Amino acid sequence: MLNELSGHVAQYAIDARKGTLTLIDSVPSVPPALGMKWGQPQAPAGAAPAAPVAAPKAEEKPAIWAADLRLTPNGKFLYTTERNTDKIALFAVAPHTGKLTYVTNFATERQPRGINIDPSGRYLVASGEKSDRLSVYRIDPASGKLGEPTRYPVGKGANWIEIVDVR
């Protein structure tokens, strides 16, 4: 699970007998070196609007605003998006424990909302809410690192990526 306002990836163990979840780990997808602050929840739909929040000062770091996460089909790598920094984070997944290790992040489309990985696990596709393009990255099978993107025009406001196998 990716927490939208903290950017943490939470990992749970499932007790199938009881139907319960137990938190195992919570790993940040935004490096502390960025100095970002946690985001603030918005009022629920239909509720009275919250008091206006003051505009951030020029020297303030932006709030975390994570959006999507995807695991490669082989389970080796996990990717998450963060909209205020326009980044895709890469995690390595330990083979026997599933423990996540943050590796690095990659610049992507403006305000990345949706990402997806093709069924072969060779390509990651990213869209940005404030971009008029999609980025397609080749995934290095050994390291999970993303290659230079090929960009395709799609119009403004792309949110989600769905990959359909037509074979």
Q: What percent of the chain has pLDDT over 70?
A: 93
pLDDT at 46: 75
Q: Which domains does the chain have, with CATH numbers?
A: 63-162 (2.120.10.30)
What pLDDT, in 10s, does the model give residues 80-101? Answer: 999 999 999 999 999 999 999 9
pLDDT at 50: 61
Quote the tokens at residue 26. Answer: 């919570």
For residues 58 and 38, which has the higher predicted lDDT (pLDDT)? 38
The alpha carbon dihedral of 95, 98, 99, 105 has a sign of: positive
Whether 61 and 32 have beta carbons less than 8 Å apart is answered as: no
C-alpha distances in angstroms, 74 versus 39, 51, 94, 111? 32, 46, 12, 27
> How many residues in total does the chain contain?
167
